[in-house]
Structures are given as structure tokens and as C-alpha cells.
Amino acid sequence: MQRVLLLSVSVVAMTWAANAVADSPNLKGAYGFTGTAACLVAPGHVGDPNTPPALPNPTPGVALTNSGFDANLHPKDISPGPTAAFSHSNAVEGIRTFNGDGTGTVKGTSVGITVRPTPGPNGYPHFPPGAGSAFFSYDFTYTVNGDGSWTATMVPGSYTETFVTGGRAGQTATVNAIPQVTGLISQDGKTLILVADPLSGGAFVPTVETVTYSNGDVWPQICHRSRVLISLDKGKGGKDD
């Protein structure tokens, strides 16, 4: 009797799991999004930031040897200091389009600020606090899971950014890989949420990404990002039923 009961429970569980996967929505359509991000940038440094002269980039197009982060996610140039690490934040809005076949595109605008302390005024890098804005776009692939969650990964080499105001106005930038995003889907498919960085062991893992600017700066950074998305398709909740 006990074996029959256990077998019945097992069959029910497997049937529920199969139905959950079969009922999983296939995201399709355009979603408007807004969100924020903040980044810790670890460009490394050469020279003394407090003692003249102000230096040019000694290795344009190549990251400095003391740039990036150690195993504990501290800037490498924190010892011996002073570190040139700094932070910046931004707000974004745009459109994320799901093609319905596991591929999609993102286009948006950002407005950001960089506050004190900033590197310099001497050595390299060196710049004052400031603000700016940019256009950005990239391609992505995505999967939708039976539990109502979804993940998306930027297609390597597809990210481009063009600065229109601020200290980098006229420059462009690329990012090697924005970390994977993980999110949830509302029951009607009209609202999505996401947070950057992949899950590992139930926790989000900060991921280093590298930004290469058209002026030759190559700066590693770690960012946190979150987005809320709403369906822009009238009369359809974003599910490809």
C-alpha cells in the first residue's frame, strides 16, 4: 500500500513538473524599462596622484598591470596606495525586445554622475567629478524557465556606447561582457524584473567587466544593476502563447 502511495505521489509530481515546463511563457515583444546601476571602477594608476605631473595613459588600449580586482574583490592598487579606484552611478531607460526565439536586442539611454573622490589631479588617471549621458545598445540571448524566472546573457562583442555630454562627449566605448541577468515574470507576462550577476549557491556573484574607451582607457569595473520592464505590446501580455 505504501509503495502504491509513493508511486502515485511520484507520478503526480512528474506530471506537475512537465506541465510547468510546457506552460512556461515564451517571451516575445518589446518591453520598456527603467533602472539604476552603480559601478566600482579599478583602473589602476601610475605616478603619484598628489604630486605633479599629470601623466598621459602609458598603455593606450591595454589595461594597466595594477588595474582590476584581487581575489577578495578589492582594487589591486589599494596596496601600496593610494588607490585610483572610484565609483559612478547612472539611471537608464530604453526598450528590450524579445524576438520569441531566444534572441533579442537592447537600446537605451543613460544619465550618470561620478562623485568625489576621483583620481588625481596628477599621475594617471586624473579627472574631476562630473556628469554625462550616453546612448547604448547590445544583443542578448535568453531562456525562460518553468518556474516563472528568466535569464539573459549579452552577446559578446555586441555592446556599444556613445557619449553625448560630459567629459567623454564624442567618445565611444565597448564592454567585453555584461554579467548575466536573472529575473522573474509576472503571471500575465506584462511585467518583468531583473538583477545583474549570475546566481551561484543561492547568492549573486559580483562579476568583473572591462570597459574599453575610444581614447585608449581600459578600465575593469564591478557593477550592480536592476531593471523593471513593462510590455509595450497592446492587447498582449508579452507571452507567446
Looking at 10-19, 63-72, 123-132, 167-176, which range is the least confident one?
A: 10-19
- Is residue 21 classed as helix, strand or coil in its secondary structure? helix
Burial class (CB in 10 A: 0-12, 13-18, 19+), 13: exposed
Which comes out higher in pLDDT, residue 50 or 198? 50
Contact 96, 133 (CB under 8 A): no
**27-75: per-residue pLDDT in tens?**
999 999 999 999 999 999 999 999 999 999 999 999 999 999 999 999 9
Residue given cell 598591470 in the structure block = 65
Alpha-carbon radius of gyration of the chain:
22
Report the distance separating Cα 74 and Cα 85, nearest Å. 9
DSSP string covering 72-121: TS-BGGGSSS----EEEEEEEEEEEEE-SSSEEEEEEEEEEEE-SS-S-S
The confidence score (pLDDT) of residue 212 equals 98
- Domain residue spans of the chain: 29-231
